[in-house]
Structure 1
Amino acid sequence: MPTTPASQRVNELRDEIRRLDHLYYVQATPAVSDLEYDKLLAELKQLEDDHPSLRSSDSPTQRIGDAPVEHLVQVPHNAPMLSIDNTYSREELQAYFDRTEKALEGEQIQWVMEYKIDGVAASIRYEDGAMSLALTRGNGSVGDDITHNIRTIRDLPLRMSGDTAPKVLEVRGEVYMTNADLADLNLRQAQAGAEPYKNTRNVTAGTIRLLDPAIAAERNLRFFCHGNGTVDGLKAKDHMAFLKEVGQLGIPPTPEVQLFKDSKSAMKAIAELEDSGMPDLSFEVDGIVFKVNDFDQRERLGIRSKSPRWLIAYKFERYEAVTTLQSISVQVGKTGTITPVAHLTPVEIAETTVSRASLHNKDEIERLDVREGDTVVVEKAGKIIPKVVRVEKHKRKGDLPAFEFPTHCPECDSILERDEGGVYIRCANPKCPAQLKQRLIYFGSRPGMDIDGLGEEFVDLLVGRGLVSGYRDLYQLEIKQIADLNWIKQRKGKDGALIDVQVGLRNAKKLIAGIDESRGRGLARVLSSISIRHVGPRVAKLITAKFNTLEKLRGASIEDLADIHEIGDAIGKSLHHFLNSEYGIATMDDLAAAGVDLTDPEPVVDPDGRLLEGKKLVVTGTLQYYKREEIKKLIEDLGGRASSSVSKSTDFLVAGEKAGSKLAKATEMGVQVLTEKEFRQMVAGD
């Protein structure tokens, strides 16, 4: 067909609308207003109406152009859509990693970690770059034809980007709905007198099977690609390259994927996720999927009758409850981060009473459109802290005012600053009283300098009475000035009344002894305890393995720090800025003047700190110095494996007080037994 001004303009409009769709729905960075977008779409539709020969099935105007289908047709899959094996425990996950490594005879395996999105599986086929067919999973061999509804998903291209599209590409992934879109849909349902939907997965499963695509289009479904079926023309040889390649074709790949060099790194990532919780996500997640990265290794591992051997899902038990958000307050963290907190009408979730939940940041409040007085859905998954996942907008009473995020620190009134290119808003005043309290609490904690007796109550008392305004002041405290102080304590017993009592000589001596003992913890422990952004225990160990004195550290450039394995530019800049800032210089000088040891021994072990590399340890009994999860994490961080049962392959049993049958079994089998103190001495060099 010869090029005409009309056909040229149609092609220009289609390319521009596709670009804008990708920016808005995939990258979440809208480039034009809704009005400007609608004008472009209207112009394209008018041109196609005036020139019917220019209309094509992959035009943006045809996303809801299909007539309702009479019924869903079943179509065989070209390649089976297999299910995924699940596990709910770290022990089972580790056992899966071990089996896979054994099956590949000890080969190095890179593991990909992806979110297990709580949506509905679908397979979407492109031929010569154009969408041709979309199917549900069905029974794995045959699925329902849902092409008419999948074409309404705006983050999926009807025609792939670029000039080198594969001849055939079947992408597999999850159709899903965001929590914000469900809240808006339920509001429309209530206004129409219809029942609201309970969760995003149920409404997604129902929507993709609707006969009328116009209804599906109104519900704003989305899609993430995490795998493939039949392909002809892809270049990727591993999963990470595959996700990058489909992303370049305009198909949204599953987000925030991580690659780990081995299973130990993957297990550590799971522990961190369970301890700190999921990052802010707009969609529901019910677990994590681990996949072998290399396609050749996948081929050799093969499949079982229903699932591949090269991937597994680590699932979280999820619990939800509906309650009222009474108020929103903000807290100032130890690095100045301003965190909004939802105060809830107490509600039972997974046998615990929940009355508070983090709202993470300003952007999260705006995304949820959450307001004081709203009815909200609160979720707790596994050991993850409770979070508000959705507002039940259809239950909102009246015109509730939007929450106004503060512009000044609620404690010191300093102007708040947003991280460059980030989502967090901070108080940049290092002398802020709220930051001081949080820093001191962490400084005294077990992960910090492990100062026995320096808890939240003592910090409030010491700061409130003006005795402590920095780390150095802790080391100048005397027993008598503490013993004579009075503090408010909660009386034990049924009434639990608050009473005014004296700290006393015993508590004062305990605190001073803990402070004195902390002087010898060493440089790495100090660096990870004084709330330097991005510098935790492992990072501090890696840094002091190369720069083991304060003098050497102060002489290091950003490049010197960033060149350390696993450190990089962000951490290097953060530490260098702290060490050369007025506050950082004063902090380190004050600690040195207080007699705190700011050196570490010359490294005698591998700088990665793999002191327990390849060792299997079992922990039993009541521990004095560690919580159970803390000692397990420490073992894993040092390269060991924390097991729950004693066997011939066990290298050490760490026995606390009242150790029982495991201690007896270890003694009988000749396994080396360590007291908790002996274990601490063993790892003290790390």
Structure 2
Amino acid sequence: MSMQEAALALQQLKQRIAEYDYHYYVLDAPLVSDSEYDGLYRQLVEIEQQYPELITADSPSQRVGGKALAAFESVQHRQAMLSLNNAFADDELEAFDRRVREGTGEAVVAYAVEPKFDGLAITLTYEHGLFVQGATRGDGYTGENVTHNLKTIRAIPSRLNIAQPPALLEVRGEVLMLKRDFEKLNQQQAAVKGKLFANPRNAAAGSLRQLDPHITAKRPLHFFAYGLGASIGVPELNTHSEAMQYLADLRFPVSDLRAVKIGAQGLREYYAEIGEKRHQLPFDIDGVVYKVNDFALQASLGFVSRAPRWAVAHKFPAEEATTIVEDISVQVGRTGAITPVARLKPVFVGGVTVTNATLHNEDELRRKDIQIGDTVIVRRAGDVIPEVVSVKTELRPADARRFVMPAVCPECGSHVVRPQDEAVARCTGGLICPAQRKQAITHFASRRAMDIEGLGEKLVDQLVARELVHHLDDIYRLTLPMLSDLERMAEKSAQNVLVAIEKSKQTTLPRFIYALGIRNVGEATAKDLAQHFGNLDALMQADVAALTQVKDVGPIVAEAAYQFFQEPHNREVIAAMRDLGVHWADIEKKAALTPFAGKTFVLTGTLPTLKRDQAQAMIEAAGGKVSGSVSAKTSYVVAGEEAGSKLEKAQQLNIAILDEAALLVMLQAASEDDTTTETPSDSIEPLSKQSSLF
């Protein structure tokens, strides 16, 4: 390749890469795969290595180049980067609008509004379309030259995408780090035991002010433009909103949340709108900015001290504050999770007074090295539970104390265990723990468990609040006077609940195991455990090794089941329920030889008398399997009223179709002769021939 050919190829490659960078980093809409992009970049670097004299300042290869500096040079801004006055309350907003109207003589003023990014303010200088210098805000008049670092941010154009660029263009904006990138960066830092950043703003500032641009290049920084500085040769722009559109046309990333609002009422509405969206945004903001939209009106208002009269920042309540950890205790969640909680010296943050903050789990507590007595930074974002972000270890007192996780549950005294490969420690007293009581009772009574109709969440709340039910066995001690005395519970309703409770005493072993609420034991696992052990006593006596022999039961599930049955409190509750009449038929090992063995059933439509889960339980108790979809491997489809596509597919595949009566005949035959190994499908007349049902 000649030098002339290389120069042309480089120009084409730079244009393509710039186009892909714009779509990826600004529009968040990639045009090519990562591998294709990397291939183009390699081509560019190879040509530049062959012809180094063709390397230009706007080359993508220069985004990660440059030597480490001893210190940043000072840069004097052509046009001062002044700060904004703040408004926190509604009356301050009203006062700002009143001053603007009085200063301009306008009855109503239009304002350009936009989010206030929580990052680092910078200015970018372009000469004849080429990015030549970038600097931090500094004191507003003099900043630091961070050009090489800013070149690593691919959202910032190296060259303006315009045929006749202005002779001079200063772009003001904010460097920040997206929330998702901040989380990834801290994970990477933790993996190498590096410094963890307190928040995205600190991470962005620390990354941009690295003396070595190669370090900055590894940090996922982003940029948003929010205004113009000094300029020569730009088109006539009369308003701030026109200027922002001009920057967008030049392919600078600008906020799509910008707008123009009229008067104080419009500003209030915008503040409320952005406040609602705040925590769903991909980046942090700490308020919104209002600017008089008309440049002529801005000029007439001028400046006061170091801030413009024509703009104000309407700040959200602070989301981070500093306070002291006075103590650390634990909370027991409704699923038994043991969560350490910092008891704080009261501090106002995020619009409320915070006295507690979650420490998540033991690993997080140790990673952040939080001790009782520490001075900490606390964050509260919206409705998010307050958390301790970091510790000011330099302020740690001599008498600071480490917290030790409890070995027993503070609510019920049951053992606390931390399952293998899990970060969360848990209370094993699922059936007797007050903190887990409502959850355990509601699950126990649910339709797929013990199916106690009428015993829903609202009734459970009352039973627990009145201390009528402490443990699951107390359900079977409820009386008519107890229930009828509850709110919105007439005698007839109470009687219906008692009937449902009595009916639930006759159940199946899989249902009972599932109803116990053992962690990680769902319906399918409960059935596997019941089938494997045959009776509850054998299951309760099994150790972890025996439990792992069950189909689809791994070490985590086995450990959870073992710990559950090892807890004396749980065994006492089970024994009490059996004494109160809860019973089931043990599963015979020869069940595998029933006529239903190896047969797959699909249930569809509404059956006349059986609920679908009842039919499923009966089929499975007889040794069959119930599937949710029809395939060539389906043995029978049990169809009720309004059977839909599953019935049609079964007819297409010529699969035998049963109604409820035919299913009950098969079940009865299976119970009478469980030595039969197969029921010929032609012994049951398919529903497609029983026209009386359709």
Q: What code does the residue aligned with 1:296 have?
A: A
Contact 1:380 1:386 in 2 (8 A): yes
Find the counterpart in structure 2 of residue 31 from structure 1: 31
Change (3 A) 1:354 1:249: farther
Contact 1:179 1:389 in 2 (8 A): no
| Distance in structure 2 (CA, Å) of the matches to 1:37 and 1:328 | 49
Structure 1 residues 398, 170: CA separation in 2 closer, same or farther (over 3 Å shift)?
A: farther
Map 1:82-93; keep pairs closer than 5 Å. Answer: 82-93=82-93
Report the equivalent of 2:264: 263
In structure 1, what is the Cα distance between the partners aligned to 2:40 and 2:388?
33
Matches within 5 A, 1:653-668: none
Instruction: Determine if contact 1:118/1:286 at 8 Å carries over to the other structure.
Output: yes
Equivalent in the alignment of 2:49: 49
* 2:232 counterpart residue number: 232
CA distance in 2, matches of 1:327, 1:374: 17
Quick one: structure 1 residues 309 and 487, their matched pair in 2 at CA, closer, same or farther if it must change by over 3 Å? same
Cα deviation for residue 33 of structure 1 reads: 1.8
- Contact 1:378–1:386 under 8 Å retained in 2: no
Partner of 1:300: 300
Query: C-alpha displacement at 1:354, in angstroms?
Result: 8.3
1:203 aligns with: 203
Identity over aligned residues, as a percent?
A: 31
Query: Cα gap change, 1:143/1:378 in structure 2, threshold over 3 Å: closer, same or farther?
Result: closer
Shift of 1:313: 0.7
Secondary structure at 2:171 match in 1: strand
Q: Name 1:249's counterpart in structure 2.
A: 250
Q: Assess if the C-alpha contact under 8 Å between 1:21 and 1:155 holds in 2.
A: yes
Are 1:63 and 2:63 counterparts? Answer: yes
In the alignment, does 2:7 pair up with 1:7? Answer: yes
Q: Secondary structure at the match of 2:280?
A: coil
The answer for the alignment partner of 1:150 in structure 2 is 150
Offset of 1:263 from its aligned partner? Answer: 2.1
Which residue identity does 1:169 align to in structure 2? Answer: L
Q: Displacement, 1:346?
A: 6.5
Return the offset for 1:153: 0.8
On the 8 A contact 1:24/1:30 being kept in 2, the answer is: yes
Aligned mates of 1:126, 1:252 — CA distance in 2: 16
Q: 2: distance between equivalents of 1:129 and 1:152?
A: 18
Partner residue in 2 for 1:181: 181
Shift of 1:106: 2.7
When residues 164 and 190 of structure 1 are mapped into structure 2, their CA distance, relative to the original with a 3 A threshold, is same
SS where residue 386 of structure 1 aligns? coil
Aligned partner letter, 1:33:
S
- Per the TM alignment, residue 496 of structure 1 is displaced from its structure 2 partner at its CA by 12
CA drift at 1:494: 11
Distance, in Å, in 1 between the alignment partners of 2:386 and 2:177 is 16
**TM, length-normalised to structure 2:** 0.50
Q: Hey, what does 1:597 align to over in structure 2?
A: none
- Cα distance in 2 for partners of 1:129, 1:389 equals 46
Structure 2 counterparts to residues 404-419 of structure 1, below 5 A: none
Maintained 8 Å contact 1:175/1:224: yes
Contact preservation (8 Å) 2:76, 2:142 = yes
Q: Distance in 2 between matches of 1:10 and 1:146?
A: 26
Aligned counterparts, 1:409-558, within 5 A: 489=462, 501-503=485-487
The 3 A distance-change label for structure 1 pair 380 and 18 is: same
Q: Tell me what 2:353 maps to.
A: 351
- Conserved? CA contact 1:177–1:220, under 8 Å: yes
22 and 379 in structure 1: CA distance in 2 versus 1, 3 angstrom threshold: farther
| AA at the equivalent of 1:271 | A
From 379, 383, 386, the equivalent of 1:385 is 383
1:282 is paired with a residue whose SS is coil
| TM-aligned CA distance change 1:486 to 1:253, over 3 Å | closer
Which residues of structure 2 form unaligned runs of 5+?
344-348, 369-376, 391-418, 424-452, 472-481, 491-694
User: For the structure 1 residues 344 and 307, does the alpha-carbon distance in structure 2 shift closer, same or farther, using more than 3 Å as the test?
Assistant: farther
Q: Aligned partner of 1:193: which letter?
A: K
CA contact (8 A) 2:462 2:486 kept: no
Q: What is the letter of the counterpart of residue 263 of structure 2?
A: D
Q: Which amino acid aligns with 1:144?
A: E
Deviation at 1:208, TM superposition (A): 2.0
Q: Report the equivalent of 1:218.
A: 218
Residue 74 of structure 1 contacts residue 143 of structure 1 at CA under 8 Å; is this kept in 2?
yes
Which residue identity lines up with residue 54 of structure 2 in the other structure? L
Supply the distance in 1 between the matched residues of 2:10 and 2:420 (Cα, whole angstroms). Answer: 46
> Residues of 2 paired with 1:20 and 1:387: CA distance?
40
Could you tell me how far apart the structure 1 residues matched to 2:241 and 2:302 are?
19
Tell whether the 8 Å contact from 2:357 to 2:387 is kept in structure 1 after alignment.
no
SS of 1:173's partner is strand
Distance 2:454 2:467 in 1: 30
Tell me the CA shift for residue 135 of structure 1: 1.2
Hey, what's the Cα distance between the residues in 2 that align with 1:101 and 1:398? 66
**1:486 to partner: Cα distance:** 7.7
Letter of the 1:252 counterpart: P
Residues of 2 paired with 1:27 and 1:326: CA distance? Answer: 45
More divergent stretch after superposition (239-248 vs 311-320): 311-320
2:312 match = 312
1:180·1:282 contact (CA, 8 Å) conserved in 2?
yes
Q: In structure 2, how many angstroms separate the alpha carbons of the residues matched to 1:278 and 1:168?
A: 35
8 Å CA contact 1:119–1:174 kept in 2: the answer is yes
Rg larger in structure: 2
Counterpart residue type for residue 284 of structure 1:
D
Give the direction of change, closer, same or farther, for the CA distance of 1:328–1:213 in structure 2 (3 Å limit).
farther
Measure the CA separation in 2 of the matches of 1:15 and 1:389. Answer: 46
Over 3 Å counting, the alpha-carbon distance change for 1:505 and 1:152 in structure 2 is: closer
CA distance in 2 between partners of 1:351 and 1:182 (Å): 27
Please say if residues 487 and 503 of structure 1, whose CA atoms lie closer than 8 Å, have aligned partners that are also in contact.
Answer: no
Is the 8 Å Cα contact of residues 130 and 160 (structure 1) preserved in structure 2? yes
Q: Relative to structure 1, is the Cα distance of residues 50 and 272 closer, same or farther in structure 2, using a 3 angstrom cutoff?
A: closer
In 1, Cα distance between equivalents of 2:184 and 2:102: 49
The CA distance in 2 between the partners of 1:313 and 1:328, in whole Å, is 42
Per the TM alignment, residue 319 of structure 1 is displaced from its structure 2 partner at its CA by 2.9
Task: State the 1:255 CA deviation.
Answer: 3.7
1:576 equivalent in structure 2: none
Amino acid at match of 1:66: G
Report Cα offsets for 1:589-645 as digits up to 9, x if no partner.
xxxxxxxxxxxxxxxxxxxxxxxxxxxxxxxxxxxxxxxxxxxxxxxxxxxxxxxxx
Q: Distance in 2 between matches of 1:328 and 1:146?
A: 51
CA distance in 2, matches of 1:41, 1:150: 19
CA change 1:49–1:172 in 2 (3 A) is: same
For 2:39 and 2:312, locate their aligned partners in 1 and report how far apart those are by CA, in whole Å.
47
Check conservation: 1:180, 1:390, Cα contact below 8 A.
no
Offset of residue 8 of structure 1? 1.9
Count of residues paired in the alignment: 395
Compute the displacement of 1:317 (Å): 2.4
Partner SS, residue 23 of structure 1? helix
Shift in Å, 1:300: 0.9
Alignment deviations for residues 182-227 of structure 1 (CA, whole Å, 9 cap, x no partner): 2222222223222211112222222222211000100121111111
Does residue 112 of structure 2 align to residue 95 of structure 1?
A: no
Tell me, in whole angstroms, the C-alpha distance in 1 between the residues paired with 2:310 and 2:44: 46
The residue that corresponds to 2:21 in the other structure is 21
Matched, 1:131 2:131: yes
CA distance in 2, matches of 1:94, 1:251: 33
1:92 CA displacement: 0.9
Letter in 1 for 2:383: I
Counterpart contact for 1:111–1:263, Cα < 8 Å: no
Deviates more, 1:203-212 or 1:7-16: 203-212
Give the 5 Å matches for 1:331-350: 350=352
Structure 2 partner of 1:411: none
Give the partner amino acid of 2:41.
L
Q: What's the TM-score, normalizing by structure 1?
A: 0.51
How far is 1:487 from its partner? Answer: 8.7
CA-to-aligned-CA distance 1:455-475 (integer Å, 9 cap, x gap): xxxxxxxxx989xxxxxxxxx
Closer/same/farther in 2, CA of residues 293 and 345 from structure 1, 3 Å limit: farther
> 1:193 maps to which residue?
193
Letter in 2 for 1:248: D
